Amino acid sequence: MALYRLMNHGVIAKLQHPIRQGKESLVLHALAPDGRELAVKVHTSKVFGERERKQYLFGDWRLRHARHHIAQRTETIWAEKELRNLARLEKARVPAPRPVAFDENVVVMGFIGKDGEAAPQLNNQKSLDYSRIAARVLSSLKLMVSQAKLVHGDLSPYNILIWKKQPYLIDLSQAVLTTHPEAKRLLERDIANLKAFFASVGVDHQLFQGLSLELMDTVE
């Protein structure tokens, strides 16, 4: 029903092929009425354990209305949260998909890629200036924390797309506010994941020195 409503409201003109299928979502290529390419993310059923609820939902004041409906509305909550987080990144000028709309369990965003072919994930790249990419990723991370006031919470080379030599952050549904009680721990994990990946491709670890302390000061 959500997809039909988005089409009836003129957000989506045509649904195309699947881009990515995961355990918790399906991403489709689509076209807007003006021909722009879109990514349509359909959040599928997700059962939250108590740890996940604490990590990603219950500490977020924006979703205070969701606490008593978590069992019935997980997909809708996840979609709403992703759109809000994308909007924060856009305002902070962090490279990420452009937020367009959401309805129930569906998020519509700008497409990173061209002619229906999605940009590749960072972990699938074989020939890059990794030092340059690492510097840009860390710049995005700083903006995300200091300006958008968000912590990704699951940042890794699997949810960074490389398009025209620019890294784009994706999969923002679990991102939490810097005021979230788990924000510092999640930020430390994000930094550790990035450090481990870039070390594996030969990036000097000096690039990461001091980053954790610098960012931790901006997390409340």
At what angle are helices 130-146 and 183-200 packed, to 10 degrees? 170
CATH classification code of 119-216: 1.10.510.10
- pLDDT at residue 134 tops 50: yes
Q: Which of 11, 38, 12 is nearest to 113 (CA)?
A: 38
What is the DSSP-derived secondary structure letter of residue 112? S
Active site residues: 154, 171
- Residue 10 exposed, middle or buried by CB count within 10 Å (0-12, 13-18, 19+): exposed
The highest-confidence range among 19-28, 89-98, 190-199, by mean pLDDT, is: 89-98
Q: Average pLDDT of 111-117?
A: 97
**143-40-35 Cα angle (round to 5):** 95
In whole angstroms, give the CA distance from residue 207 to residue 195: 9
- Predicted confidence at residue 218, as pLDDT, reads 74
- Predicted confidence at residue 163, as pLDDT, reads 96
Non-local CB neighbours of 22 within 8 Å, separated by 6+ positions: none
Give the phi and the psi of residue 158 in degrees, each rounded to 5: -80, -25
E-only strand ranges, the chain: 14-21, 25-31, 37-43, 99-103, 106-110, 113-114, 117-118, 150-151, 160-163, 166-169, 176-177
- pLDDT at residue 168 tops 90: yes
Report residue 60 as tokens.
């977020």
Non-local CB neighbours of 126 within 8 Å, separated by 6+ positions: none
- pLDDT at residue 68 tops 80: no
Q: Which of 115, 138, 113, 153 is nearest to 203 (CA)?
A: 138
Q: Which residues pair with 121 in a beta bridge?
A: 161
Q: What counts of helices (H) and strands (E) characterise the chain?
A: 6, 11
- Which residue spans of the chain are classified as CATH 3.30.200.20? 2-114
- Which residue spans of the chain are classified as CATH 1.10.510.10? 119-216
Q: Which helix (H) or strand (E) segment is 102 a member of?
A: strand 99-103
In whole angstroms, give the CA distance from residue 19 to residue 97: 14
- Predicted confidence at residue 71, as pLDDT, reads 47
The domain 2-114 belongs to what CATH superfamily?
Phosphorylase Kinase; domain 1 (3.30.200.20)
- Predicted confidence at residue 45, as pLDDT, reads 64
Q: Average pLDDT of 172-190?
A: 91
CA distances from residue 72 to 1, 65, 66, 77 in whole angstroms, order as listed: 17, 13, 10, 10
Average predicted confidence (pLDDT) for the chain: 86
Q: Average pLDDT of 156-179?
A: 94
Tokens 């299928």 sit at which residue? 21
Tens digit of pLDDT for each residue in 16-64? 999 988 777 899 999 999 999 999 999 886 555 545 554 555 556 555 5
